[in-house]
Structure 1
Amino acid sequence: MTRICVAGGTGQVGREVVRQAVAAGSGVAVLSRNPPPAGDPARTAGAEYFPADVTTGAGLAAALAGADVVIDCLEGRSGKALKDFADGGARLLAAAQDAGVPRAVVLSIVNCDRSSFGYYASKAAKELVYERSGLETVALRATQFHSLLATTFAAGSKLRIIPVVAGARFQPIAPADVAAALLEEALKPATGRRHSVRTVGGPEIHGMGEFARQWKAATGSRARPVRLPLPGAMGKYLRAGLNLAPEERHAGETFSGWLAKKADSL
């Protein structure tokens, strides 16, 4: 039985990785700074949870003991977590190597190395850490999640508008589909390649306005779509279509299908 250590296994994608891995019969160790207590809905029955911190190295050895592969779904969105994001990856990989883990897969973002936006640049820096490690590694780059659009629309609706970035198209993907792709990479036999990059995108590409229309219909919101300019690095990235991977469309869950499943929580 393959034993998988999931770093960040309590986050949006990490929880899906854990759930799918347990369902497939893998042994799963979840590495989290603050593991959910027993009985918490965020906890998956059959997985083992370990308190561990990649910023200090505390708890990593115990979480990684006996693992055959690491799947890194950790996030660092702002502040010190963002600043230390790549260093945390290096600390995790060093501990994995000490534990005899031969392989690691890291979740990343499509074309993150072509953006100067801080969060995306941190993903690119972490990819370099993986590329230079002594393990066999894979960076799985995904397009934006369905939840990014839904959260953006919901935030704007509080002001009676549904923000639509002018000139932006999206190719959103379900976290469950990204989790499945991470597991597929993690469970592949050794290839002998030190590092590789795979991109996975959502099943459809539309202007942001179309996704806003779908969200409005699903939620019954009375807010109105409003086209807005987005300056800076993120706006440049989106207008250039660098958030898209048209050649890597994944036959997974569409935005409207995802919304239908989430109807009670939107």
Structure 2
Amino acid sequence: MPSEPFFLPEFGQTDPGLGLLRMAALLAETDDDPGEETLDLMAEQVESGCLAGLDPADVWPELLLSLGGPAPGKAFRVLRICGALQVVLPEVDALFGVPQLSDGQSEVDLGAHLLRSLDEAGRRDAPLPVRFALLVMNVGKGDSPREHLPHHYKHIDRGGPRISGIAERFGVPADCVPLALTALSECERVHRASEVRAGPVAQMLERLGAFDAPESFALLMEVCSCDFTAHSGRSGEAYPKAVLLETARNACLPIEPATPEARAEAIAQALRSQRWSSEG
């Protein structure tokens, strides 16, 4: 006997497919994990085709409830388990089971890492652009050639059009897209920033708008920090690259004229002083 669809009129949602998406958001707001019976019922509904033919414009508000909730990783985990994620966001679903290098030679599953980074964003009450960037910035890695894994050559070339396509498909707010595209190309570079290379740090700050668009720069640092913290054993840690780049940025602010050379020299002095202080 087929299971009953998820009708949620008390929450203003009567379409069974949209009701299922809303159920994921509601389940994530509870302290308990959803039971197997509930997840099985949701999976049956997905298999019955309840999500087929939904207008993406109607899907986005339901996804937004999950993405903007207190535990977005938990909500998207529910969507993944029941099969809904593969239907509505196949670009993100494709990340599960795909390895990427973490510290040293250890590897992480990109999908599992994504969920942890989203939950970190929820704990920080991060704004929507940060959450959307974390959700989509790795979508170019889902189909990296298997023979190259855990490396993801040219994923930026693949990821950019996919992020733009997701944003267009769902009508994602325009202020979310630039940060997602910047995170795609810059997050891993930020993770590699080095205190012994003042020139490249100065160039990075200029490229990321640290002087001309400090609000956007701060949002990118939040994306990178959530991504960093999502790695095993880093919960509660400060993000060292954010500290490094903020120290470098502050050293540059008084510089006039703000030439690349002058900024690099100021950064070198500031980071050298910081290093000596930490070693003393």
TM-score (norm 1): 0.27
Higher helix fraction (1 or 2) = 2
By relative contact order (CA 8 Å, sep 6+), the higher-ranking structure is 1
Which structure: greater strand fraction?
Answer: 1
Select the structure of larger CA radius of gyration.
Answer: 2
Normalized against structure 2, the TM-score is what?
0.26
